[in-house]
């Protein structure tokens, strides 16, 4: 696989958490995902990192903050939200007709 691009932490990010986040991105890439990036924000602290390739054919590396297509990812978030609400109501959610 092509070389990974490194993390680009902002000056306010903590070094120990940066290393853990970078290891996690590397583990995702090593598990077979061609490329991955992430951004974390906690108040004023920010971190962004990337690993792997954006295009396996050309070997173009993933960069933090790259624009990408979301695809069907939002369906997962919607399903989790609905499942949480159903769990809050019990087995039978309220209905209106």
Q: What is the pLDDT of residue 60?
A: 93
The yes-or-no verdict on residue 57 having pLDDT over 90 is yes
CA distance 38 to 61: 14
- Residue 5 CB burial class (10 angstroms; 0-12, 13-18, ≥19): buried
CA distance 56 to 5: 14
Average pLDDT over residues 46-50: 89
> What's the predicted TM-score (pTM) here?
0.53
């Amino acid at each position: 696989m092509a070389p990974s691009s490194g993390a680009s932490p902002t000056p306010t990010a903590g070094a120990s958490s940066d290393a853990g986040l970078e290891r996690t991105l590397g583990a995702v890439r090593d598990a077979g995902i061609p490329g991955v990036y992430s951004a974390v924000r906690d108040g004023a602290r920010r971190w962004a990192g990337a690993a792997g390739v954006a295009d396996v054919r050309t070997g173009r590396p993933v960069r933090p903050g790259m624009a990408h297509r979301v695809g069907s990812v939002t369906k997962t978030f919607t399903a989790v939200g609905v499942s949480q609400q159903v769990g809050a109501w019990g087995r039978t959610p309220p209905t209106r007709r």
